[in-house]
Amino acid sequence: MFRRFYIAIASLMLICPVLAQEVEVGAVHTEEYMPLLRGQRVAVLANHTAMYSAEEHIVDMMHREGVNLVGIFAPEHGFRGSVEAGVEVEDGVDSRTGVAILSLYNGNTQRPSDEVMRSIDVLVVDMQDVGLRFYTYYISMLRLMDACADFGCRVVVLDRPNPNGHYVDGPILDMKYKSGVGWLPIPVVHGLTMGEIATMAVGEGWAKPVSLTVIKCRNYDHATHYELPIAPSPNLPTQHSIYLYPSTCLFEGTIMSMGRGTDSPFEIYGHPDMRDKEFSFRPMPNSGSQTPPHCGEVCYGEDLRGIADEEVWREGINLDYVVESYHNLGIGDKFFKPMFEKLIGVGWVREMIIEGYTAQEIESRWKDDVERFKEQRRCYLLYDE
């Protein structure tokens, strides 16, 4: 069973020692967006995280309020968020509302058909992102935004806080590595909400010009540490896993296990041949991963669950995990898979690891890129830094 966040919706903590105000997500401000939906044919890009309240999903609320819902677009992991990473999501019908579910992650289409797009006047986007370039929800949004631009549809983004929105880190994507896990020339940790990504993509010409409205969060800025009320995907079951994800997801581009098939994905990592490590685990099929790397094998490695959140925030992307594992196994370039470049976004990180540079030396190379991006994004920020 996945551990769940049993905290009230939109609860948060702040770094500064002041009384925290409750964050209000865009979805709760119906007075700002419901007038845009009345009398319109409305489609929704959403998943299980799109909660209007602690008890009611945004789609259920719209259906109850008589909005003319003509379709639900499902991203990776599906509309109800139960499909493991990379697995195709099938079309279907939402049993609660009877609205058609149209997958954007079925291996065949990257955007809806012309017939579907002609049936839509307004697209509402509501998904909880985690603020990383290789987390695919923003890519689904941008593909649909381009389709809306082609057919004159309005886009309304119901914004939600970014749990990794307090910093920017990592190299900017070299667009020759553009893929389904990296779509824009932005750092690995971009520090933007979904509404800010949408705004910046249009402003920078990365997405087609489209009529865009963002319903902002309240009581939120980029210094806010927002704890998610619902796990955003099956293999990010805890807040701590979300904080470690920028570093440990890089193991997806190697021969290592990153903990899929355990109850602590992205909080532990290892390999069967790292015998000098005391910590061990055995990946097995579970609801989050039916075929985890090194399934059934004892993996030896590191347990990161004891690292304090504050330390993870302070370090940002920690390349030491990958560099140390590379040297431990001693198999050279066989340690890496082609996915590594798609995740880290550039070719020179692998090269520098192989050449023997330290993690700190490699990380220092992308610092100037981070500063340039922070300046580039400034005019698109919807919340204070």
pLDDT, tens digit, for every residue of 179-233? 999 999 999 999 999 999 999 999 999 999 999 999 999 999 999 999 999 999 9
Which tokens in the block code for residue 51? 């909660």
Q: Which domains does the chain have, with CATH numbers?
A: 12-230 (3.40.50.12170), 239-354 (no CATH)
User: pLDDT at position 97, please?
Assistant: 87
Average pLDDT along the chain, 385 residues, taken 10 residues at a time: 34 39 95 98 95 95 97 76 47 83 66 90 97 95 97 98 97 97 98 98 98 98 95 94 98 98 98 97 94 97 97 96 98 98 98 98 97 98 97
**Nearest-angstrom CA–CA distance, 194 and 124:** 12
User: pLDDT at position 95, please?
Assistant: 80
> Angle, nearest 10°, between helix axes 320-329 and 239-248?
60
**Nearest-angstrom CA–CA distance, 340 and 301:** 19
User: pLDDT at position 91, please?
Assistant: 67
Tell me how far the alpha carbon of residue 333 is from its chain's centroid.
Answer: 28
The 10s digit of each residue's pLDDT in 129-186 is: 999 999 999 999 999 999 999 999 999 999 999 999 999 999 999 999 999 999 999 9
User: pLDDT at position 15, please?
Assistant: 39
Locus of tokens 């796990």: 231
Give me the DSSP letters along 15-63. SSSSPPPPPB-GGG-HHHHHHHHTTSEEEEEE-TT-BSSSS-BHHHHHH
User: pLDDT at position 111, please?
Assistant: 80
| Amino acid at the residue 316 | G
Three-state DSSP class for residue 16: coil
Closest CA to 37 of 144, 99, 122: 122
**pTM score, two decimals?**
0.90
**Nearest-angstrom CA–CA distance, 165 and 225:** 8
